[in-house]
Structure 1
């Protein structure tokens, strides 16, 4: 671009800071600077060689990135047409491309920056996903070491992926506001807490680097001044004129925990014992993940290892009430035949993703609860490392010298794919669907298994209809 330099005399007195406007305007007109600017505006403000233009803006289209196969001028015009630039704003010379208005150039630059920003975000997401997978794989290995040789394992939970946030707290500000901002949330899930009468109560469980939170949801009437109606929440209904509110039922600081107790069988129970206070009996399908996070945070908080004991039962103290007083409760575990285990929860009341069918039986006799559990995997079981060891992402091959390269051979014709045998399920009990995505079936019906990645609800097909079924109502046909 040509640079024109002109000298303007501001005044006749040779005094600094003095400006004679009429004299300056007369000089500008005499030198023709206004006409020069008008000519420049009417001309082309940007000019660049074809190869350099194509190299700079090739990322804007898939056809020109990473390399354009064809004439350079065709690649330049392909970019112009793809960006919907006016042909009157762009002209091709012998060796350069000319762009008339600055707005057209700004469009190209903005789109180029957006492309780089988009690709940078894709790389960031992939790297974060890769790091998260490694963290959860390491966490799963550490959790396996905690239970190795001490507790029977569940085949459905041994190889599952660890998620951490099962409540999607980033989409639940109503739950987030209950946790102080100074605390980091490492685990959240919906579980069941047992009271002094062994009644099963649904609760939200959140584990942070400072404490454990047990949160209840209550159905509060609008304008009632805090009066709640928890029965409507337990039925998973919200009557008109009511709103759902969340309340912290118990906060357990990590330093006050003195022990965690679990059974030797494949059940989902674990007991949190607190110093000079009552214990809390919980039932959680992802208990291994939760306990491993509690142990890790406890070690960071107190610089001590939290004891965890395994046995065929345990006794614990319940909460003291003013008119009842404190007391002790006992929980015993024993093996039972799988066919004798019948889910005590009505399947019509199960909430997908929240409630999970139980594959063990519970009997209550006053202050003692007996849990009969079917046999699980051996205590020495470990997760399958096949998927973890499989290389992920791009695979780069080492290149040899060009002199030692051989001409590529013609690949063999692909063999015909062998038909895969689809797994089948046999219904153990009758099940009546309560929603559109559930599948009804009767005892001894045979279903086609589509997906069993979820622990509690499997996707299956029956008579051309597809839906989800409770996993403990069916068995896999070998």
Structure 2
């Protein structure tokens, strides 16, 4: 192009000459050599056994494939016979060290490192997977596997072992993450109450569960809440009215509101008088102004509304509810909920009829030692009396060590040893042995312990009717002429360590310690014990009657096909027979089909 007479063409193709490069230009042979070396490098990344070049076309262009030409070359170069011979023998061959490196994870003995002979390690792996000896052979440096299925089995075992270890790691992480999340919730809940309210002794370290009424097994409540609504907290609480009378309510906290569900009797229809769940009140977060609590350890809480009457509730798990309410409130409105603490609270009551409404007062008094609140209503004032709890600056004890680990078990053993060392232990001193710790000083006039020595053996037999001191009877050592005093080391009394005069005198002083005679009550108890040992055989020795068979569950037949819309529903087809476990009033039954339990619509089935 540079030799062209057209200036425009010469400008399009300038002559790029690198003056600094003094090497010879690449030739065709060097290009072929470079490409061949690159091809060999790519092939050696695998384990090639037989390499043959096939010419795909005559045009020397890429992606131009002449199928007849390729088939002709494969047939006349003997590639088919080569592959058949390869398959008839041991197609897979691998050095011992590479085979061990890949499949060592299959056994505990070879993982993470095999310390013995490589050949023995390969044999151990083959034995662990129960591979037949006809399917593999061991050479001097390589292992040969015959069938591809055997190799696939090794790969499958390897994948399963990796999955097993992955599940172990996943389980440990989930356990750690859940514990850390519980600790974080405890800290956040403690910060809400820190320095403002006393805490209960057995609830400060409690883990939070959220659902305490079992919403999964109560479809009627789910219908009231909404199946798509996510429930953060649910508990049975007490709601107090204008006369301070308690009524049971199901408190349910969702992402947008607080629900109070009560029960009313059906007034009409075949189910007249049957209690059913009804929505008593729905408190949206936008309508809640603040929350009031006392500074004592009681469970009372007031939800104050902006333009409506308030709700005076008694919630056992108030700390967990307040924490979750604050989180949902902040996520919905972008600010934290206002919480006030005072021992004199006031709330608005519902307006009923002409001249209704007004306010009620609640006063809290710390008195006594009971953890249960004592209610004393008087007109429009309710007085709550409760004992003191833990200080308001109490913090939960967080578990820093991994539960179940060796370190935590060692810490637990040390804790037990330390606390067992604090318990009083009575050590019995042998005759003539020195005490293990210095004994306290004796009162004046008493005989020192060291002056009491064992008497010589008697030269004559003991006279009849002589009182005998048994060796197994243990009494605290008491000096003659003095009473018991705390801190003295107890000693085991034997016939050789007790003087006759001292034993008689001490026996007179210890008559009050002897067990009194049982009298008529003892005779009666003895007769009852004798009669209990000779009880007659139940049923007069007759064989036990067979147990009654369990009643068969009612069944129903599907009239139409139904596909489950939620996780707790059943999928069935027309004509399927379903066992009915429970018939609910809301139009949903609980049934079982093919071992799976769930909910099904009642209008899709017909009872058999």
> Is TM > 0.5 for Structure 1 vs Structure 2?
yes
Residue in structure 2 matching 1:253, options 264, 267, 284: 284
The one-character-per-residue Cα deviations of 1:65-112 (angstroms, maximum 9, x if unpaired) are 222343222222222222233332222221122222222222222232
1:147 deviation in Å?
Answer: 2.1
> How far apart are residue 260 of structure 1 and its match?
0.5
- 1:2 matched to which residue of 2? 49
Q: Could you say which residue in structure 2 is the equivalent of 1:230?
A: 275
Alignment partners' CA distance in 2, 1:419 and 1:148: 30
Alpha-carbon separation, structure 2, partners of 1:192 and 1:258: 21
Q: Could you say which residue in structure 2 is the equivalent of 1:262?
A: 293
Residue 72 of structure 1 is matched in structure 2 by 118
- Equivalent residue in structure 2 for 1:294, among 307, 325, 342: 325
C-alpha change, 1:164 and 1:49, in structure 2 (3 Å) is farther
1:425-440 to structure 2, matched below 5 A, reads: none
**What is the aligned partner in structure 2 of residue 376 from structure 1?**
389
- Per the alignment, in what secondary structure is the counterpart of residue 100 of structure 2? helix
Q: Distance in 2 between matches of 1:112 and 1:169?
A: 42
Structure 1 CA distance for aligned equivalents of residues 355 and 88 of structure 2: 93
For the 8 Å contact 1:136–1:163, the answer to whether it is kept is no
Task: Name the residue aligned to 1:349.
Answer: none
Instruction: Give how far 1:217 is off.
Output: 7.4
CA shift digits 1:277-324 (9 cap, x unpaired): 222222222211221222233234333342222222423233456799
Partner of 1:157: helix, strand, or coil?
coil
1:410-435 Cα distance to aligned partner (Å, 9 max, x none): xxxx9x96894999xxxxxxxxxxxx
- Partners of 2:54 and 2:73 within 8 A in 1: no
How far off its partner does 1:258 sit?
0.4
Alignment partners' CA distance in 2, 1:324 and 1:3: 103
- CA–CA separation in structure 2 for the residues paired with 1:44 and 1:266: 78
Q: C-alpha separation between the residues in 2 aligned to 1:249 and 1:45?
A: 76
Spell out the pairing of 1:204-353 with structure 2 (5 A cutoff): 204-215=250-261, 229-230=274-275, 248-320=279-351, 326=357, 328-338=359-369
Contact 1:315 1:328 in 2 (8 A): yes
The count of aligned residue pairs is 364
Q: 2:187, 2:396 within 8 Å by CA — same for their partners in 1?
A: no
Between Structure 1 and Structure 2, which shows a larger proportion of strand residues?
1
1:270 is displaced (CA, Å) by 0.8
SS at match of 2:203: helix
Given the two structures, how large is their TM-score scaled by the length of structure 2? 0.50
Q: Is 1:47 aligned to residue 93 of structure 2?
A: yes
Structure 2 unaligned regions, length at least 5: 1-47, 58-63, 408-413, 424-608
CA drift at 1:325: 5.6
Offset at residue 26 of structure 1 (A): 8.2
2:237 equivalent to 1:191 = yes
Q: Is 1:153 aligned with 2:199?
A: yes
Q: Matches of 1:166 and 1:272 in 2, distance apart?
A: 20
Describe the superposition over 1:143-182 as per-residue Cα deviations: whole angstroms up to 9, x where unpaired.
2232223222211122333444555767878766765688
More deviation in 157-166 or 88-97?
157-166
Contact 1:92 1:98 (8 Å CA) reproduced: yes
Partner SS, residue 332 of structure 2: helix
128-137 vs 146-155, greater mean Cα deviation: 128-137
Q: Which has the higher contact order (CA 8 A, sep 6+)?
A: 1
**Residues 227-277 of structure 1, C-alpha deviation per residue, up to 9 Å, x if partnerless?**
77238xxxxxxxxxxxxxx65543322222101011121111111112212
SS at structure 1 position matched to 2:110: coil
Match of 2:162 in 1: 116
- Displacement of 1:207 after TM fit? 2.9
Quote the Cα distance in structure 2 between the aligned partners of 1:219 and 1:34: 85
Q: Which of the numbers 96, 102, 109 marks the counterpart of 2:148?
A: 102
Residues 79 and 292 (structure 1 numbering): CA distance in 2 closer, same or farther, change over 3 Å?
Answer: same
Counterpart for residue 60 of structure 1: 106
CA distance in 2 between partners of 1:287 and 1:322 (Å)? 33
Larger radius of gyration: 2
CA distance in 2, matches of 1:207, 1:66: 51
Are the structure 2 counterparts of residues 9 and 360 from structure 1 closer, same or farther at C-alpha, using a change threshold of 3 Å?
closer
Q: CA RMSD of the aligned region, Å?
A: 4.4
- The equivalences for 1:138-149 within 5 A come to 138-149=184-195
Unaligned runs of 5+ in 1: 11-15, 232-245, 342-357, 397-413, 424-478
C-alpha contact 2:190 2:396 (8 A) present in aligned 1: no
